[in-house]
Protein backbone atom coordinates (compact mmCIF):
# COMPACT_ATOMS: atom_id res chain seq x y z
CA UNK A 1 0.00 0.00 0.00
CA UNK A 2 2.83 2.39 0.84
CA UNK A 3 4.54 1.60 -2.46
CA UNK A 4 1.41 2.30 -4.46
CA UNK A 5 0.88 5.57 -2.60
CA UNK A 6 4.44 6.67 -3.24
CA UNK A 7 4.14 5.66 -6.90
CA UNK A 8 0.94 7.67 -7.28
CA UNK A 9 2.55 10.70 -5.67
CA UNK A 10 5.56 10.43 -7.97
CA UNK A 11 3.32 10.23 -11.04
CA UNK A 12 1.29 13.25 -9.92
CA UNK A 13 4.44 15.24 -9.25
CA UNK A 14 5.94 14.27 -12.59
CA UNK A 15 2.77 15.28 -14.38
CA UNK A 16 2.79 18.61 -12.54
CA UNK A 17 6.42 19.24 -13.48
CA UNK A 18 5.96 18.37 -17.15
CA UNK A 19 2.77 20.43 -17.34
CA UNK A 20 4.57 23.42 -15.82
CA UNK A 21 7.37 23.03 -18.38
CA UNK A 22 4.98 22.80 -21.33
CA UNK A 23 2.97 25.77 -20.14
CA UNK A 24 6.11 27.79 -19.54
CA UNK A 25 7.32 26.94 -23.05
CA UNK A 26 4.01 28.07 -24.55
CA UNK A 27 4.17 31.33 -22.61
CA UNK A 28 7.80 31.91 -23.62
CA UNK A 29 7.27 31.22 -27.33
CA UNK A 30 3.85 32.82 -27.94
CA UNK A 31 3.00 35.49 -25.41
CA UNK A 32 6.13 37.71 -25.62
CA UNK A 33 5.59 38.04 -29.36
CA UNK A 34 2.06 39.29 -28.69
CA UNK A 35 3.39 41.63 -26.01
CA UNK A 36 5.95 43.12 -28.41
CA UNK A 37 3.35 43.59 -31.15
CA UNK A 38 0.84 45.19 -28.75
CA UNK A 39 3.46 47.49 -27.22
CA UNK A 40 4.69 48.70 -30.61
CA UNK A 41 1.15 49.28 -31.85
CA UNK A 42 0.21 51.12 -28.65
CA UNK A 43 3.31 53.35 -28.82
CA UNK A 44 2.74 54.18 -32.50
CA UNK A 45 -0.98 54.79 -32.00
CA UNK A 46 -0.42 57.15 -29.06
CA UNK A 47 2.30 58.97 -31.01
CA UNK A 48 -0.19 59.55 -33.82
CA UNK A 49 -2.78 61.21 -31.56
CA UNK A 50 -1.53 64.77 -32.32
CA UNK A 51 -1.94 63.98 -36.02
CA UNK A 52 -5.55 62.89 -35.45
CA UNK A 53 -5.18 59.30 -36.65
CA UNK A 54 -4.32 58.04 -33.17
CA UNK A 55 -7.69 59.21 -31.87
CA UNK A 56 -9.33 56.59 -34.06
CA UNK A 57 -6.80 53.77 -33.54
CA UNK A 58 -5.91 54.12 -29.85
CA UNK A 59 -9.21 52.80 -28.39
CA UNK A 60 -9.01 49.68 -30.58
CA UNK A 61 -5.30 49.11 -29.85
CA UNK A 62 -5.65 49.58 -26.09
CA UNK A 63 -8.71 47.35 -26.21
CA UNK A 64 -6.50 44.68 -27.78
CA UNK A 65 -3.93 45.19 -25.03
CA UNK A 66 -6.67 44.62 -22.49
CA UNK A 67 -7.70 41.40 -24.24
CA UNK A 68 -4.11 40.11 -24.07
CA UNK A 69 -3.87 41.06 -20.38
CA UNK A 70 -7.21 39.36 -19.68
CA UNK A 71 -5.90 36.17 -21.31
CA UNK A 72 -2.93 36.23 -18.92
CA UNK A 73 -5.25 36.80 -15.96
CA UNK A 74 -7.36 33.85 -17.03
CA UNK A 75 -4.30 31.61 -17.46
CA UNK A 76 -3.04 32.62 -14.01
CA UNK A 77 -6.36 31.52 -12.53
CA UNK A 78 -6.65 28.30 -14.52
CA UNK A 79 -3.02 27.17 -14.31
CA UNK A 80 -1.94 28.38 -10.86
CA UNK A 81 -5.17 29.25 -9.07
CA UNK A 82 -3.97 32.85 -8.83
CA UNK A 83 -6.64 35.52 -9.21
CA UNK A 84 -5.38 38.80 -10.66
CA UNK A 85 -7.88 41.60 -10.13
CA UNK A 86 -8.50 44.40 -12.58
CA UNK A 87 -9.91 47.88 -12.02
CA UNK A 88 -10.82 49.27 -15.42
CA UNK A 89 -12.93 52.38 -15.33
CA UNK A 90 -16.33 52.03 -17.04
CA UNK A 91 -16.31 53.36 -20.58
CA UNK A 92 -19.67 54.08 -22.26
CA UNK A 93 -19.88 52.53 -25.71
CA UNK A 94 -21.59 55.62 -27.11
CA UNK A 95 -18.73 58.00 -26.26
CA UNK A 96 -17.03 59.63 -29.22
CA UNK A 97 -13.47 58.52 -30.17
CA UNK A 98 -11.80 61.54 -28.55
CA UNK A 99 -13.62 60.96 -25.25
CA UNK A 100 -12.81 57.25 -25.32
CA UNK A 101 -9.14 57.92 -26.08
CA UNK A 102 -8.77 60.41 -23.22
CA UNK A 103 -10.61 58.12 -20.82
CA UNK A 104 -8.36 55.18 -21.72
CA UNK A 105 -5.17 57.21 -21.38
CA UNK A 106 -6.28 58.44 -17.95
CA UNK A 107 -7.21 54.95 -16.73
CA UNK A 108 -4.47 53.67 -14.35
CA UNK A 109 -5.34 50.07 -15.21
CA UNK A 110 -4.67 50.70 -18.90
CA UNK A 111 -1.31 52.20 -17.92
CA UNK A 112 -0.49 49.07 -15.94
CA UNK A 113 -1.44 46.93 -18.92
CA UNK A 114 1.06 48.75 -21.13
CA UNK A 115 3.76 48.60 -18.43
CA UNK A 116 3.11 44.89 -18.10
CA UNK A 117 3.85 44.43 -21.81
CA UNK A 118 7.40 45.64 -21.15
CA UNK A 119 7.76 43.36 -18.13
CA UNK A 120 6.34 40.41 -20.02
CA UNK A 121 8.77 40.64 -22.92
CA UNK A 122 11.77 40.77 -20.53
CA UNK A 123 11.54 39.32 -17.03
CA UNK A 124 8.27 37.57 -17.89
CA UNK A 125 9.95 35.80 -20.80
CA UNK A 126 12.78 34.58 -18.55
CA UNK A 127 10.52 33.30 -15.77
CA UNK A 128 8.32 31.50 -18.29
CA UNK A 129 11.25 29.90 -20.13
CA UNK A 130 13.10 28.63 -17.03
CA UNK A 131 10.67 25.77 -16.19
CA UNK A 132 10.91 24.52 -19.79
CA UNK A 133 14.73 24.73 -19.78
CA UNK A 134 15.05 22.85 -16.49
CA UNK A 135 12.85 20.00 -17.74
CA UNK A 136 13.67 19.76 -21.47
CA UNK A 137 17.33 20.82 -21.63
CA UNK A 138 18.51 17.67 -19.77
CA UNK A 139 17.09 15.56 -22.62
CA UNK A 140 19.79 17.00 -24.86
CA UNK A 141 22.48 16.09 -22.31
CA UNK A 142 21.29 12.50 -22.22
CA UNK A 143 21.21 12.40 -26.02
CA UNK A 144 24.79 13.67 -26.13
CA UNK A 145 25.88 10.86 -23.82
CA UNK A 146 23.98 8.34 -25.97
CA UNK A 147 26.14 9.20 -29.02
CA UNK A 148 24.89 12.52 -30.33
CA UNK A 149 28.31 14.01 -29.50
CA UNK A 150 29.79 12.11 -32.46
CA UNK A 151 27.80 14.19 -34.98
CA UNK A 152 28.03 17.52 -33.21
CA UNK A 153 31.70 17.99 -33.92
CA UNK A 154 34.43 19.67 -31.89
CA UNK A 155 33.70 22.87 -30.03
CA UNK A 156 30.27 21.86 -28.81
CA UNK A 157 29.46 22.87 -25.24
CA UNK A 158 26.66 21.49 -23.13
CA UNK A 159 26.15 24.16 -20.52
CA UNK A 160 29.66 24.78 -19.21
CA UNK A 161 30.91 21.30 -20.23
CA UNK A 162 32.98 21.13 -23.47
CA UNK A 163 32.06 17.85 -25.18
CA UNK A 164 35.11 16.32 -26.89
CA UNK A 165 34.60 12.59 -26.34
CA UNK A 166 32.59 9.93 -24.60
CA UNK A 167 33.92 10.90 -21.19
CA UNK A 168 32.90 14.52 -21.45
CA UNK A 169 29.61 13.36 -22.98
CA UNK A 170 28.93 11.43 -19.78
CA UNK A 171 29.81 14.59 -17.85
CA UNK A 172 27.19 16.43 -19.93
CA UNK A 173 24.65 13.75 -19.02
CA UNK A 174 25.56 14.20 -15.35
CA UNK A 175 25.00 17.94 -15.64
CA UNK A 176 21.71 17.21 -17.36
CA UNK A 177 20.69 14.96 -14.45
CA UNK A 178 21.46 17.74 -11.97
CA UNK A 179 19.41 20.20 -14.03
CA UNK A 180 16.55 17.70 -14.25
CA UNK A 181 16.54 17.26 -10.46
CA UNK A 182 16.38 21.05 -10.10
CA UNK A 183 13.54 21.13 -12.64
CA UNK A 184 11.67 18.42 -10.76
CA UNK A 185 12.01 20.50 -7.62
CA UNK A 186 11.50 24.02 -8.94
CA UNK A 187 9.61 24.02 -12.28
CA UNK A 188 6.07 24.50 -10.86
CA UNK A 189 7.35 27.17 -8.45
CA UNK A 190 9.04 29.05 -11.30
CA UNK A 191 5.81 29.06 -13.30
CA UNK A 192 4.05 30.44 -10.23
CA UNK A 193 6.76 33.09 -9.96
CA UNK A 194 5.98 34.13 -13.53
CA UNK A 195 2.35 34.75 -12.66
CA UNK A 196 3.31 36.50 -9.42
CA UNK A 197 5.34 38.92 -11.52
CA UNK A 198 2.29 39.39 -13.74
CA UNK A 199 0.10 40.06 -10.71
CA UNK A 200 2.60 42.51 -9.25
CA UNK A 201 2.40 44.64 -12.40
CA UNK A 202 -1.25 44.20 -13.40
CA UNK A 203 -3.08 44.22 -10.06
CA UNK A 204 -4.39 47.60 -8.83
CA UNK A 205 -2.64 49.25 -5.92
CA UNK A 206 -3.88 50.30 -2.51
CA UNK A 207 -4.53 53.85 -3.69
CA UNK A 208 -7.07 52.67 -6.25
CA UNK A 209 -8.76 50.48 -3.67
CA UNK A 210 -9.05 53.54 -1.41
CA UNK A 211 -10.56 55.50 -4.29
CA UNK A 212 -12.94 52.64 -4.93
CA UNK A 213 -14.08 52.71 -1.30
CA UNK A 214 -14.61 56.47 -1.56
CA UNK A 215 -16.77 56.08 -4.67
CA UNK A 216 -18.80 53.31 -3.04
CA UNK A 217 -19.30 55.48 0.04
CA UNK A 218 -20.59 58.34 -2.11
CA UNK A 219 -22.93 56.12 -4.10
CA UNK A 220 -24.25 54.55 -0.91
CA UNK A 221 -24.97 58.03 0.47
CA UNK A 222 -26.74 58.93 -2.77
CA UNK A 223 -28.77 55.74 -2.51
CA UNK A 224 -29.78 56.52 1.08
CA UNK A 225 -30.72 60.11 0.16
CA UNK A 226 -32.69 58.90 -2.87
CA UNK A 227 -34.55 56.33 -0.77
CA UNK A 228 -35.39 58.96 1.86
CA UNK A 229 -36.65 61.37 -0.80
CA UNK A 230 -38.73 58.59 -2.37
CA UNK A 231 -40.23 57.74 1.01
CA UNK A 232 -41.15 61.40 1.58
CA UNK A 233 -42.75 61.53 -1.87
CA UNK A 234 -44.85 58.45 -1.12
CA UNK A 235 -45.93 59.87 2.23
CA UNK A 236 -46.84 63.19 0.60
CA UNK A 237 -48.78 61.52 -2.20
CA UNK A 238 -50.71 59.39 0.29
CA UNK A 239 -51.47 62.35 2.53
CA UNK A 240 -52.48 64.78 -0.20
CA UNK A 241 -54.14 62.30 -2.51
CA UNK A 242 -55.70 59.01 -1.51
CA UNK A 243 -55.90 59.82 2.21
CA UNK A 244 -57.70 63.11 1.61
CA UNK A 245 -60.18 61.40 -0.72
CA UNK A 246 -60.85 58.64 1.82
CA UNK A 247 -61.47 61.21 4.57
CA UNK A 248 -63.87 63.08 2.27
CA UNK A 249 -65.64 59.80 1.43
CA UNK A 250 -66.13 59.10 5.16
CA UNK A 251 -67.65 62.52 5.68
CA UNK A 252 -69.95 62.08 2.67
CA UNK A 253 -71.12 58.69 3.95
CA UNK A 254 -71.93 60.28 7.31
CA UNK A 255 -74.00 62.92 5.53
CA UNK A 256 -75.77 60.22 3.51
CA UNK A 257 -76.82 58.47 6.75
CA UNK A 258 -78.49 61.66 7.93
CA UNK A 259 -80.21 62.32 4.59
CA UNK A 260 -81.58 58.81 3.96
CA UNK A 261 -84.89 59.58 5.72
CA UNK A 262 -85.09 63.35 5.16
CA UNK A 263 -83.91 63.71 1.52
CA UNK A 264 -83.39 60.37 -0.27
CA UNK A 265 -82.72 62.07 -3.62
CA UNK A 266 -79.81 64.11 -2.28
CA UNK A 267 -78.55 61.00 -0.47
CA UNK A 268 -78.46 59.13 -3.79
CA UNK A 269 -76.49 61.99 -5.37
CA UNK A 270 -73.98 61.94 -2.53
CA UNK A 271 -73.65 58.16 -2.86
CA UNK A 272 -72.92 58.53 -6.57
CA UNK A 273 -70.30 61.18 -5.82
CA UNK A 274 -68.77 58.98 -3.13
CA UNK A 275 -68.62 56.03 -5.53
CA UNK A 276 -66.80 58.23 -8.07
CA UNK A 277 -64.41 59.40 -5.36
CA UNK A 278 -63.66 55.78 -4.46
CA UNK A 279 -62.79 55.04 -8.10
CA UNK A 280 -60.47 58.04 -8.21
CA UNK A 281 -58.86 57.05 -4.89
CA UNK A 282 -58.30 53.53 -6.19
CA UNK A 283 -56.72 54.94 -9.34
CA UNK A 284 -54.40 57.13 -7.28
CA UNK A 285 -53.38 54.16 -5.15
CA UNK A 286 -52.66 52.11 -8.27
CA UNK A 287 -50.56 54.93 -9.71
CA UNK A 288 -48.69 55.18 -6.42
CA UNK A 289 -48.00 51.45 -6.36
CA UNK A 290 -46.92 51.59 -10.00
CA UNK A 291 -44.49 54.37 -9.07
CA UNK A 292 -42.98 52.23 -6.32
CA UNK A 293 -42.60 49.04 -8.37
CA UNK A 294 -44.68 48.46 -11.50
CA UNK A 295 -46.49 45.09 -11.44
CA UNK A 296 -45.47 44.38 -15.05
CA UNK A 297 -41.82 44.78 -14.04
CA UNK A 298 -42.14 42.22 -11.25
CA UNK A 299 -44.18 39.78 -13.33
CA UNK A 300 -42.68 40.02 -16.83
CA UNK A 301 -39.29 41.66 -16.49
CA UNK A 302 -37.53 44.77 -17.71
CA UNK A 303 -38.14 44.30 -21.45
CA UNK A 304 -41.94 44.12 -21.21
CA UNK A 305 -42.00 46.86 -18.57
CA UNK A 306 -40.16 49.24 -20.91
CA UNK A 307 -42.51 48.29 -23.76
CA UNK A 308 -45.51 49.05 -21.52
CA UNK A 309 -43.90 52.34 -20.56
CA UNK A 310 -43.43 53.25 -24.23
CA UNK A 311 -47.09 52.53 -25.02
CA UNK A 312 -48.20 55.23 -22.56
CA UNK A 313 -46.05 57.94 -24.15
CA UNK A 314 -47.61 60.56 -26.44
CA UNK A 315 -44.63 60.21 -28.82
CA UNK A 316 -44.32 57.05 -30.98
CA UNK A 317 -41.57 54.97 -29.39
CA UNK A 318 -39.88 51.91 -30.87
CA UNK A 319 -38.45 49.45 -28.33
CA UNK A 320 -35.89 46.74 -29.14
CA UNK A 321 -35.10 44.21 -26.42
CA UNK A 322 -32.48 41.46 -26.41
CA UNK A 323 -32.31 40.01 -22.89
CA UNK A 324 -31.74 36.24 -22.59
CA UNK A 325 -32.63 36.33 -18.90
CA UNK A 326 -33.49 38.61 -16.00
CA UNK A 327 -31.29 40.76 -13.81
CA UNK A 328 -31.70 41.08 -10.05
CA UNK A 329 -34.85 42.93 -8.99
CA UNK A 330 -33.00 46.04 -7.66
CA UNK A 331 -31.08 46.35 -10.94
CA UNK A 332 -34.26 45.98 -13.00
CA UNK A 333 -36.01 48.59 -10.88
CA UNK A 334 -33.13 51.08 -11.20
CA UNK A 335 -32.94 50.53 -14.96
CA UNK A 336 -36.72 50.89 -15.39
CA UNK A 337 -36.98 54.18 -13.52
CA UNK A 338 -33.84 55.49 -15.25
CA UNK A 339 -35.43 54.76 -18.64
CA UNK A 340 -38.69 56.32 -17.45
CA UNK A 341 -36.92 59.54 -16.45
CA UNK A 342 -34.97 59.73 -19.72
CA UNK A 343 -38.13 59.15 -21.78
CA UNK A 344 -40.00 61.79 -19.78
CA UNK A 345 -37.21 64.28 -20.48
CA UNK A 346 -37.26 63.40 -24.18
CA UNK A 347 -41.03 63.93 -24.42
CA UNK A 348 -40.96 67.21 -22.49
CA UNK A 349 -37.87 68.90 -23.87
CA UNK A 350 -36.62 67.35 -27.12
CA UNK A 351 -39.47 68.24 -29.47
CA UNK A 352 -38.89 64.91 -31.24
CA UNK A 353 -41.70 63.09 -33.02
CA UNK A 354 -40.14 59.67 -32.60
CA UNK A 355 -38.02 57.88 -29.97
CA UNK A 356 -36.00 54.67 -30.12
CA UNK A 357 -35.11 52.52 -27.10
CA UNK A 358 -32.62 49.65 -27.27
CA UNK A 359 -32.22 47.27 -24.30
CA UNK A 360 -29.68 44.47 -24.48
CA UNK A 361 -27.16 42.57 -22.40
CA UNK A 362 -23.49 42.31 -23.29
CA UNK A 363 -21.97 39.04 -21.96
CA UNK A 364 -18.57 40.60 -21.27
CA UNK A 365 -16.96 39.46 -18.03
CA UNK A 366 -19.70 39.59 -15.41
CA UNK A 367 -21.97 41.13 -18.04
CA UNK A 368 -23.31 44.58 -18.83
CA UNK A 369 -26.92 45.74 -19.14
CA UNK A 370 -26.82 48.45 -21.80
CA UNK A 371 -29.78 50.72 -22.59
CA UNK A 372 -29.81 53.53 -25.13
CA UNK A 373 -32.57 56.08 -25.71
CA UNK A 374 -32.33 58.05 -28.96
CA UNK A 375 -34.40 60.88 -30.38
CA UNK A 376 -33.89 63.31 -33.27
CA UNK A 377 -35.08 66.37 -31.39
CA UNK A 378 -33.40 69.70 -30.86
CA UNK A 379 -30.50 68.35 -28.75
CA UNK A 380 -28.60 70.27 -26.10
CA UNK A 381 -29.20 67.81 -23.25
CA UNK A 382 -26.55 67.91 -20.51
CA UNK A 383 -25.95 66.25 -17.17
CA UNK A 384 -26.08 69.10 -14.67
CA UNK A 385 -27.12 69.90 -11.15
CA UNK A 386 -30.88 69.96 -10.87
CA UNK A 387 -31.50 68.15 -14.15
CA UNK A 388 -33.34 64.87 -14.41
CA UNK A 389 -30.25 63.28 -15.96
CA UNK A 390 -28.23 64.06 -12.82
CA UNK A 391 -30.76 62.06 -10.82
CA UNK A 392 -30.49 59.19 -13.31
CA UNK A 393 -26.71 59.26 -12.96
CA UNK A 394 -26.98 59.02 -9.17
CA UNK A 395 -29.48 56.16 -9.44
CA UNK A 396 -27.19 54.18 -11.74
CA UNK A 397 -24.11 54.99 -9.66
CA UNK A 398 -25.56 52.94 -6.82
CA UNK A 399 -24.97 49.86 -8.97
CA UNK A 400 -21.62 51.00 -10.46
CA UNK A 401 -23.55 52.06 -13.53
CA UNK A 402 -22.62 54.93 -15.82
CA UNK A 403 -24.57 57.44 -17.90
CA UNK A 404 -23.32 58.96 -21.14
CA UNK A 405 -25.07 61.69 -23.11
CA UNK A 406 -24.36 62.66 -26.70
CA UNK A 407 -26.58 65.62 -27.58
CA UNK A 408 -25.14 68.19 -29.98
CA UNK A 409 -27.18 71.31 -30.74
CA UNK A 410 -29.75 70.41 -33.35
CA UNK A 411 -29.74 66.75 -32.34
CA UNK A 412 -29.89 63.87 -32.38
CA UNK A 413 -29.68 62.98 -28.69
CA UNK A 414 -28.47 59.58 -27.48
CA UNK A 415 -28.51 58.71 -23.79
CA UNK A 416 -26.68 55.48 -22.95
CA UNK A 417 -26.97 53.73 -19.58
CA UNK A 418 -24.79 50.81 -18.52
CA UNK A 419 -25.12 48.70 -15.38
CA UNK A 420 -22.73 45.78 -14.66
CA UNK A 421 -24.87 42.73 -13.91
CA UNK A 422 -25.39 39.09 -14.71
CA UNK A 423 -28.64 37.61 -15.99
CA UNK A 424 -30.32 34.52 -14.61
Residue-wise pLDDT for 236-288, tens only, equals 656 566 666 667 777 777 777 777 777 777 777 777 877 777 777 676 666 55
Q: Which residues contact 405 (CB under 8 A, 6 or more apart)?
A: 381, 382, 383, 389, 413, 414, 415, 416
Instruction: Give me the phi and psi of 376, to 5 degrees please.
Output: -110, 40
Q: Which residues contact 360 (CB under 8 A, 6 or more apart)?
A: 320, 321, 322, 323, 370
State yes or no: pLDDT of 414 exceeds 90: no
Give the separation between CA 167 and CA 81, rounded to whole angstroms: 45
Mean pLDDT across 158-184: 86
Please report the pLDDT score of residue 11 as a whole number. 84
DSSP at 90: P
Please report the pLDDT score of residue 23 as a whole number. 92
136-170 pLDDT, tens digit per residue, is 889 888 888 888 877 777 778 888 888 878 888 88
Give the separation between CA 107 and CA 35, rounded to whole angstroms: 19
- Fold of the CATH domain 300-420: Heat Shock Protein 90 (3.30.565)
191-220 in b/e burial notation, b at 16+ Cβ within 10 A? bbbbbebbbebbbbeeebeeeeeeeeeebe
Choose between 72 and 349: higher pLDDT.
Answer: 72
pLDDT tier at 129, thresholds 50, 70, 90: very high
Please report the pLDDT score of residue 217 as a whole number. 63
Full-model pTM: 0.52
Neighbours of 18 (CB within 10 A): 16
314-340 pLDDT, tens digit per residue, is 889 999 998 888 888 888 888 888 888
Express as a percent the part of the chain with pLDDT over 70: 81
**What is the average pLDDT value for the chain, to the nearest integer?**
81
62-93 pLDDT, tens digit per residue, is 989 999 999 999 999 889 888 888 878 776 55
pLDDT tier at 100, thresholds 50, 70, 90: confident
| Range in 46-55, 209-218, 383-392 with the lowest mean pLDDT | 209-218
Calculated CA dihedral for residues 397, 403, 409, 411, nearest 10 degrees: -140
pLDDT tier at 25, thresholds 50, 70, 90: very high
Q: How do beta strands 355-362 and 402-406 pair?
A: unpaired
Instruction: Give me the phi and psi of 174, to 5 degrees please.
Output: -60, -45
Burial of 388 from C-beta contacts in 10 A (0-12 / 13-18 / 19+): middle
pLDDT tier at 130, thresholds 50, 70, 90: very high
Q: What is the radius of gyration, based on Cα positions, of the chain?
A: 34
SS (H, E, C) 27-84: HHHHHHHHHHHHHHHHHHHHHCCCCCHHHHHHHHHHHHHHHHHHHHHHHHHHHHCCCC
Choose between 145 and 290: higher pLDDT.
Answer: 145
Amino acid sequence: MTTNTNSGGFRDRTREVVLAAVRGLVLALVMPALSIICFVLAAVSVALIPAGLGILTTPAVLGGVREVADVRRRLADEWCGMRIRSAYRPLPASANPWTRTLALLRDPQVGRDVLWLLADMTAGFATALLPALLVFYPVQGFAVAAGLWRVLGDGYWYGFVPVTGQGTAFAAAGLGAVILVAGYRWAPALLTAHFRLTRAVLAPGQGELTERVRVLTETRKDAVDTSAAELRRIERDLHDGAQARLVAMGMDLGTVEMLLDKDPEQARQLLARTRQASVEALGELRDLVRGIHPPVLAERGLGDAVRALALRLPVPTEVTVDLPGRADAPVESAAYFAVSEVLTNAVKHSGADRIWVDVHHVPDGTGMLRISVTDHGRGGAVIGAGSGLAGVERRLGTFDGVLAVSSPAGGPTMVTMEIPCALS
